[in-house]
Amino acid sequence: MVKIYEMRTMINSVSRQIQLCYVLIFQLFSFSLAAQDFYKGVDLSYVNELEACGATYTDAAGEPGEPYHILASAGSNVVRLRLWHDPAWTSFSNLEDVRVSIAKAKAAGMSVMLDFHYSDFWADPGRQWRPAAWESIESDEVLADSVYQYTTNVLIHLHELNLLPEMVQIGNETNGNILLTRGEAAIDGSGDARLYPVDWSRQVDLLQHGVDAVKDLNQSLGTDVKTILHVAGPHNATYWFEEATSAGLSDFDIIGLSYYPQWHEMGVRALGETVALLKGRFNKEVMIVETGYPWTTDSSGDNANNVLGFGSRLFTYSSTFSIETQRDFLTELTWLVKDNGGLGVVYWEPAWVATDCATYWGTGSHWDNATLFDFEGRLHGGSDFLSYDYSVMPEALSDQEVTFMVDMTGVEVDNGVFVTGDFTGITWSLLPMSLSANNLYLLETTIPGRTTGAYIYYNNDLWSDPYREQVPALCADVWDTHREYRVKGDSATFHFAWGSCDQVPIEIALGLDTTSPVVVFPTFVQNTLRVKSASPIRRYEIVDMNGRTAFSMKNTDNSIEVDHVSPGLYILKVWGDDGLVQITRFIKM
């Protein structure tokens, strides 16, 4: 293999003045960037372009500042930056731009993750165009050598400027075949049939040359740059890395994942379990290198449609989007990644606010509803996940009180009534239920918050289909046979009639004493429910007719805003000091 010192041809000439400028920066901010135990980061690939377009930013107190320093002060310790080879359509995210960004990140005290797309455009599961400069290469051997030399030369160039990143991504979302010829296809075209199935021999050879470039550079220079292989969707990762390592991929350091609830159907609990599984199976560090969650479905008023919207909603979180929900999602996701042995979480792209400048697809920002800055460019509470104390488990992840309830009217119960589900453990157990009243059977237990899972009822303690209820397809949400529970950050009740989607009238089951009733009005409501009570009210919960919580609030106010709740029939549950005290039905108009 050609030695690194034999390939030190720089991609671009850099003037001595620029080099001295960067050196001066590090003399002014002299410190050692020690490796982090855990990374809480941000992808700021758009910032230079946005500031050139007039974007301004302030911290949470309203003080103007530079985004790198604002986010570093908020708790970020790593910045991720994309690198395109020679993007003729933009003057940003090329090597010259990346030099500026790395200098800003390091001056703000943050480590750097450099994301080689090996393309002149976005590389992702739907497109993997090779750079135009490599379009005519016919041999995969020459193509692999190009990956090696390009990676080496970029990193040596950055090293000589004291801008060497701490981590390097070898490709971006490399689910499908990488470095495809583009031909006459549009640069933003996606869905090329050649992406799949993956040619693992070719795929691994190309990626391995990128990994080897970093490995050889470390050996030559005595550095310790870490390599990341990046796959979109945690549900794809086990298969992808099994195939890749079986085909010979080795010596990389970190498994990188994209996790967006809008596209990746996995809850935060399952994501944490996937992190632990990947780390254990492949003996690699695991990191979420991209994630995103909207704080609103509104727009700043620009002409760019929002990419993230209602599809991002997780059923274990509020049905509405807010800064608080975004903060909770990011905090709990990050805690679960760390608790399961993960290396870190990076948010994409927190500073992509709207400006009058155009992106490739439109004028403004397609992400202004998912940033960590509000529409005025002020850092908002979603950024609090960066400063959270991750030695403390977020409250919503703690065990929550859960009641399973089934109406057995007309069903044989001589052998008892049981409930089972994955909440009972890896090996499911049949748990006996207690008779409450009027053929209603209950089981009270605890389940960790933000959890979804399967459950079903039996009328015998024998594992046999004749004793298992037959759940109608309408509410058999798991495997088309089982019911699904969804636990948010508070108590929950799941209540149905045996073999039916009909809800149990839970006020009978709980034997509520309504001699001192809570008065709720009006019955038909558009915006606000009014509540009157002689004693303090501690919590409200609005449940739809499928038993799913539509809205929950810990509050003592006597009004409940329901304008965000979809039209339909709901149950309002009201808790006081002594527990559940009132259940009322109302219709949202």
- Cβ–Cβ under 8 Å, residues 256 and 289: yes
Say how far apart CA 317 and CA 490 lie, in whole Å: 11
Enclosing H/E stretch for 549: strand 549-554
SS3 content of the chain, % helix, strand, coil (to 5): 30, 25, 45
Q: How far apart are CA 491 and CA 540, in angstroms?
A: 11
d(CA 213, CA 223): 13
**Could you tell me the CA-to-CA distances from 185 to 182, 188, 450 in Å, in that order?**
6, 8, 43
Please, what sign has the CA dihedral across residues 268, 270, 275, 276?
A: positive
How far is 63 from 67, CA to CA, in rounded Å? 11
**Alpha-carbon distances, residue 189 vs 7, 28, 125 (angstroms):** 34, 45, 12
CA distances to 86, 88, 93 from 120, rounded to whole Å, are: 5, 8, 9
The DSSP code for 467 is G
What's the first-to-final CA gap in the chain, in angstroms?
72
Is residue 360 left, alpha or beta, with left meaning phi > 0 and alpha meaning psi from -120 to 50?
Answer: alpha
Backbone Cα Rg of the chain = 27
HSE-up of residue 284 (Cα within 13 Å, Cβ side): 26
Comparing CA positions, the residue from 121, 31, 43, 109 lying closest to residue 77 is 109
Backbone angles phi, psi at 86, to 5 degrees: -150, 75
User: Which of 173, 332, 349, 541 is an active site residue?
Assistant: 173
Angle at 124 between CA 105 and CA 166, to 5 degrees: 30
**Apex 104 CA angle, 102 and 109, nearest 5:** 95
Measured at the CA of 174, the angle between CA 172 and CA 176, to 5 degrees, comes to 145
Cα torsion 471, 473, 474, 475: sign: positive
Q: Which amino acid is at 397?
A: L
Contact 95, 157 (CB under 8 A): yes
Q: Is 173 a catalytic residue?
A: yes
Please say if 412 is a catalytic residue: no
Q: Which of 49, 166, 285, 290 is catalytic?
A: 290
Structure tokens at 434: 């207690």
Contact 114, 79 (CB under 8 A): no
Indicate the Cα dihedral angle 393, 397, 399, 404, nearest 10°.
Answer: 180
- Six token digits for residue 30: 């002299």
Would you please indicate which residues are annotated as catalytic (active-site) residues?
173, 290
